[in-house]
A and B are shown apart, each in its own frame.
Chain A
Amino acid sequence: EDQVTQSPEALRLQEGESSSLNCSYTVSGLRGLFWYRQDPGKGPEFLFTLYSAGEEKEKERLKATLTKKESFLHITAPKPEDSATYLCAVRRGGSNYKLTFGKGTLLTVNP
């Protein structure tokens, strides 16, 4: 069975204090690792898709990287508006459509 483990469960940063979130995964034939941002009571907002080890993607203050066992979401000089839950999800290969999510990391950035 596919497994996604995110750490830490919660992270509190000061504005401008860079850090990284971790997503470890076990999946048969990875066909995509996805990062989402979710604000309370709202739908997950798509951030990145990574498909192969060594791949990196960037968007503003966020950078996602992928190895064969884990992915990191690096946050550089975060701002209070970056506060949210960050979800990692994987899709297995074959004719599988579903995403299996981790439990997320709750990020709080204090001004």
Chain B
Amino acid sequence: AAGVIQSPRHLIKEKRETATLKCYPIPRHDTVYWYQQGPGQDPQFLISFYEKMQSDKGSIPDRFSAQQFSDYHSELNMSSLELGDSALYFCASSHIYNEQFFGPGTRLTVL
């Protein structure tokens, strides 16, 4: 069965640089979610999109933005990166309110 695809899998950036993370949801899923997981922490919700419209917003910094495109893939843009942004970033997808299926994650390291 098709799963959520995330790219890149690993990303190394310098402080104050910009990063773009991509997510390709499971086919026919209409909702995409972004979560951040720091070392030893539980996943923290950042933002979600339903049918390409922002549907919910969590503790996402103003330096971050995201969107969902016409083909349903989503991108998380992160600017002015800080050391504290180093984490695993997961994308998940679902059919509206049903269970969320997570991708393998992007490990972001900010130096």
In the complex, the answer to whether B55 meets A46 with C-beta atoms within 8 Å is no
Q: How many angstroms from the CA of A105 to the CA of B98 in the assembled complex?
A: 24
CB neighbours of A45 from chain B (8 A): 102
Residues from 46 to 60 in B contacting A, C-beta threshold 8 Å: 48, 50, 55-56, 58
User: In whole Å, how far is B21's beta carbon from the nearest beta carbon of chain A?
Assistant: 13
Encode A19-58 as 1/0 by CB contact (under 8 A) with B.
0000000000001101010000111111001000000000
User: Taking the complex as formed, is B100 at the interface, i.e. its CB lies under 8 A from any CB of chain A?
Assistant: yes
- For residue B111, give the distance in angstroms from its CB to the closest CB of chain A: 19
Q: Does B88 contact A (CB under 8 A)?
A: yes
Q: Which of A85-111 contact B (CB under 8 A)?
A: 87, 91, 95-104
Residues of A contacting B105 in the complex (Cβ-Cβ under 8 angstroms): 41-43
- A42 to B, closest residue via Cβ: B104
Asked if B55 contacts A95 (CB within 8 A), the reply is yes
Verify A44–B31 contact, CB threshold 8 A.
Answer: no
Taking each of B43, B44, B56, B88, which has the highest tally of chain A beta carbons within 10 Å of its own beta carbon? B43
Chain B's interface size range is: 20 to 34
Which chain B residue shows the least CB distance to A35?
B99
Using known A-B contacts A42-B104, A98-B56, determine if residue A49 contacts B99 with beta carbons closer than 8 Å.
yes
Shortest Cβ distance from A103 into B: residue: B42
CA distance A102 to B43 in the complex (A): 9
Interchain CB contact under 8 A, A32 and B102? no
Taking Cβ atoms with an 8 Å cutoff, the residues of B that contact A are 4, 31, 33, 41-45, 48, 50, 55-56, 58, 88, 90, 92, 97-105, 107
Task: Give 19 A-B pairs besides A44-B43, A95-B56, A99-B33 with Cβ atoms closer than 8 angstroms.
Answer: A32-B97, A36-B102, A41-B88, A42-B104, A43-B92, A43-B102, A43-B105, A46-B100, A49-B99, A87-B42, A91-B97, A97-B31, A97-B50, A97-B55, A97-B56, A98-B56, A99-B100, A101-B43, A104-B42
Q: Which residues of A contact B (CB under 8 A)?
A: 31-32, 34, 36, 41-46, 49, 87, 91, 95-104
